Structure 1
Amino acid sequence: MKVTLYSNSELKKFLSENRMDFEERLLSEAVNVASKINDILQAGNIDLLKNAETLVMYVIEQKEEELIEFAKQEGILWAQHSLTLSFKLEWVQAIRRTLWKFLHKFDKLNENSFLINDFYELEKKINNNVDCFLNTFFLSYSNYKDNLLNNQRKLVEHLSVPIIPISTSVAVLPLIGMIDSYRMKIIQEKVLTEISNLKLQTLILDLSGVTTMDDEVISDFENVLSGVTMMGCKAVITGLRAELVTKMVRLGASFQHLADTRGTLQQTLKTYLDLENVKLY
């Protein structure tokens, strides 16, 4: 009797008929996971026993596309609920061992029906499929986590560029901490977008909280101010620290043609709020 993954309906029938025994053996193989099955079900609505059956059927039926799609979905689910990866690895390896034990039982019931060539072919196909599932699962898990981290990073970056409207046409951008070239790029993107969205006529950039700014970033900052001007918005700089001004002078940087400079944010706000009140009357 020649057995292959493509034509062996008897193998599927055997596994279906021995489903309860298979699950019992699987739970004994995956000791750490077995005690967490209900927790995982509650945390992510993931039925490990049902998913084990699905995986086994995809493997023995050689359904590669379905197997890969299933692995991707599993990877996303585990990443979404931050489930422990070591549990997944232990579970899948336990499925592999349990499947082979039942293949051995199947072979004995059929009086050692596997020819040597058939056995090697079967071993190759089954293990390749299980490995394919694991690789796809971990890639899917990793990609989801990477995208999540990137999105969170972008959110934090944009939150670190808070453009605060103080009237219908004036807004304040208080900058704090170290400004590097990457952060300056975020500032430029946020500034130009918000000028357009809020229809700003004046943007007050308060630098009193800036601790340091690299030499090349000073040039980038000039580009930001140029962009503000090109958007038809007036730039006002406040709170320049002495050490930052010294560095600008040394580099020959001057923003006078692109922005007004004022001493403090408080004085500047008072000026523009008074102007807005005059306009209202």
Structure 2
Amino acid sequence: MGSIIEKDYIEFFTNNKDEFQESLLKEALNVREKIEEILLIGNIDLLSNAHKVVKYALEGNEEQIELFAQKEGISWASHSLTLSFKLEWVQAIRRTMWKYLQQLDQENVINMNNERFFELEKRINVSVDIFLNAFFLSYSEYKDQLIESQRALVENLSVPIIPITSRVCVLPLIGQIDSYRSNTIEEKVLLEISRLRIGTLVIDLSGIAHMETDVIQHMMKIIDGANMMGCECVITGLRPEIVRSVTGIGLSFDHKARTKATLQQALEDYLVSQ
């Protein structure tokens, strides 16, 4: 029975490809206007892909439709295409298939008894649901990977340790430092001290206007950690607001790090000492 269904319906949809396609475009009004744009942006041929979904659904080829959906999810995610268009398109494919099958049955082009109908209904709906599920999972996983790689890149750029000489590096910090970023700074600083064998790390805070108490305490621990690894820290660019915050909680950079008014002064002092 299954092979008969496959042969009858696949042959019909193949022979009436253009009519099915036109009917599909009428079902998916919003997507129709974006087909050329999506093809241009992501080299994704929605019409060709729709015929593949129909074929796999009629065959009940769950493995193939899942693999196809996973590939589609990655393509869709990598080009940041709108998910609502994809959902509308796939649901339009489902509706158009059933519209055609109903028309065929009414015109007695292909006889479909109850048993055949329910078998086909299950086959098509399960296949389309598998496609949607695999597509969205693949899309989500790929997006998560992109976000993670971008986050790692941002973290790396937010802690830019710049070598000045073989033993001296500068860490210019800009913007807001919260507990998450201070953890990132600690991890990066200690790793780079070990990797680059940094003897002096100049931490420039001229781009930081405010620090919460917990962040100040964490920065002190970072300096302690650097000192334990044999790296001297030089703090430059401290603003009055931060100085008041540091002294207000009874902390001091004494015996932890040298301080200089500006980064330029610290580097001039170092160059002179060489």
Of 247, 257, 266, the match for 1:268: 266
Runs of 4+, deviation exceeding 4 Å: 3-7, 108-112
| 1:178–1:42 distance in 2 versus 1, CA, 3 Å | closer
1:14/1:106 contact within 8 Å kept: no
2:182/2:219 contact within 8 Å kept: yes
How far is the alpha carbon of 1:203 from its aligned partner? Answer: 0.3
1:220-259 paired onto structure 2 within 5 Å? 220-259=218-257
1:5/1:62 contact within 8 Å kept: no
Of 81, 100, 120, the match for 2:79: 81
Of 155, 158, 166, the match for 1:157: 155
Aligned counterparts of 1:36 and 1:251: Cα–Cα separation in 2? 59
Deviations 1:15-62 (A, max 9, x none): 222223222322232233334333322221111122111111221222
Q: Which residue of 2 aligns with 1:206?
A: 204
2:35/2:46 contact within 8 Å kept: yes
Aligned counterparts of 2:167 and 2:118: Cα–Cα separation in 1? 75
Aligned counterparts of 1:112 and 1:264: Cα–Cα separation in 2? 85
| 1:35–1:269 distance in 2 versus 1, CA, 3 Å | same
1:11/1:106 contact within 8 Å kept: no
2:209/2:241 contact within 8 Å kept: no
The range that moved more, 65-74 or 98-107, is 98-107
Deviations 1:148-191 (A, max 9, x none): 23332332232222222222211111222322111101111222
* Uncovered stretches (5+) of structure 2, i.e. residues with no partner: none
1:5/1:122 contact within 8 Å kept: no
* Uncovered stretches (5+) of structure 1, i.e. residues with no partner: 277-281
The range that moved more, 234-243 or 117-126, is 117-126
CA RMSD of aligned residues (A): 2.5
Q: Which residue of 2 aligns with 1:43?
A: 41
| 1:6–1:212 distance in 2 versus 1, CA, 3 Å | farther
Q: May I ask how many residue pairs the two structures share in their alignment?
A: 274
Q: TM-score, normalised by structure 2?
A: 0.87
Q: Which residue of 2 aligns with 1:32?
A: 30
How far is the alpha carbon of 1:4 from its aligned partner? Answer: 4.5
How far is the alpha carbon of 1:5 from its aligned partner? Answer: 7.8
How far is the alpha carbon of 1:77 from its aligned partner? Answer: 0.9
Instruction: Give yes or no for the alignment of 1:127 onto 2:116.
Output: no
Q: Which residue of 1 aligns with 2:137?
A: 139
How far is the alpha carbon of 1:200 from its aligned partner? Answer: 1.7
One-letter code of the match for 2:144?
D
How far is the alpha carbon of 1:74 from its aligned partner? Answer: 0.8
Q: TM-score, normalised by structure 1?
A: 0.85
Q: Percent identity?
A: 54
Q: Which residue of 1 aligns with 2:213?
A: 215
Aligned counterparts of 1:131 and 1:6: Cα–Cα separation in 2? 23
One-letter code of the match for 1:258?
K
**SS of 1:68 mapped into structure 2:** helix
Aligned counterparts of 2:256 and 2:205: Cα–Cα separation in 1? 16
| 1:206–1:125 distance in 2 versus 1, CA, 3 Å | same
One-letter code of the match for 2:258?
D
How far is the alpha carbon of 1:270 from its aligned partner? Answer: 0.9
How far is the alpha carbon of 1:208 from its aligned partner? Answer: 2.6
2:227/2:256 contact within 8 Å kept: yes
1:56/1:99 contact within 8 Å kept: yes
Q: Which residue of 1 aligns with 2:180?
A: 182
| 1:117–1:257 distance in 2 versus 1, CA, 3 Å | farther
